Structure 1
């Protein structure tokens, strides 16, 4: 599991803004990012979203209104959010939160391209979960 990169910025403040559905994270290098819950959910580092290898990513849809039901610390290197749709298996390291915050524009563009390539709308409901024999989630 990825932890902290030596010398990488660490959070100095984390604020959950429920009404605007944004996680605000301030870092030790002075950067402050407002990361939407939707972006966090769409790019969750969990195996359920990322798969178990390149090309196995599962496109997430219908997450525009997702809320943060909980946010638990994981050691001194990450947080584990629980989303209102029940998803709670992604561990967001400080490095990953910094990546999400600093690359939001590119990530949104990539997401839009993936939606278009799949021929689905951003607000389309997720297909029903099917078992695939993975016991990690």
Structure 2
């Protein structure tokens, strides 16, 4: 897709929001929690998963550092230690465009398994009927 680089990347630590702006005047504020749970890292995306791995308990997560990666991305280093996602300009553009839909689906998925934004523990009762054993060989 080749999205142009943002002309503004500003971290608002107190509100835990990353503000992005582009040359065409478009601006967006993305919560650190959203960026963390939708990290483009292989750790969360796996190989061909239809949705990122579900993680909870990240309501209070913040960004400790923003590191440039060439002219095409930044590495967001989160204060929970996660640092393996490279946020390309295309990734930021997609996360901004899909924010509402992504966020609603994330909240739905948390509720389905008894997780929350405050805790990352799954209630075992919520998993009943959600587990499919692998086929026998």
Tell me the TM-score normalised to structure 1 length: 0.82
Task: Note the C-alpha offset of 1:12.
Answer: 0.6
The one-character-per-residue Cα deviations of 1:49-91 (angstroms, maximum 9, x if unpaired) are: 1112225732111111001111100110100011010000000
Q: Which residue of 2 aligns with 1:107?
A: 102
SS in 2 for 1:57: coil
Structure 2 Cα separation of the partners of residues 59 and 125 of structure 1: 9
Residue 13 in structure 1 maps to residue 2 in structure 2 = no
Task: Note the C-alpha offset of 1:101.
Answer: 1.6
- Runs of 4+ more than 4 Å apart: none
1:4-43 equivalences under 5 Å are 5-6=1-2, 8-43=3-38
Task: Note the C-alpha offset of 1:126.
Answer: 5.7
Computing the radius of gyration from Cα coordinates, the structure with the larger value is 2
SS in 2 for 1:38: helix
Residue 122 in structure 1 maps to residue 117 in structure 2 = yes
User: Quick check: 1:17–1:24 contact (8 Å CA) kept in 2?
Assistant: yes
Q: What 5-or-longer segments of structure 2 have no aligned partner?
A: 123-137
Task: Note the C-alpha offset of 1:123.
Answer: 1.4
User: Quick check: 1:33–1:102 contact (8 Å CA) kept in 2?
Assistant: no
Greater relative contact order (CA < 8 Å, ≥ 6 in sequence): 1
SS in 2 for 1:124: coil
The count of aligned residue pairs is 122
Note the aligned Cα RMSD (angstroms).
1.6
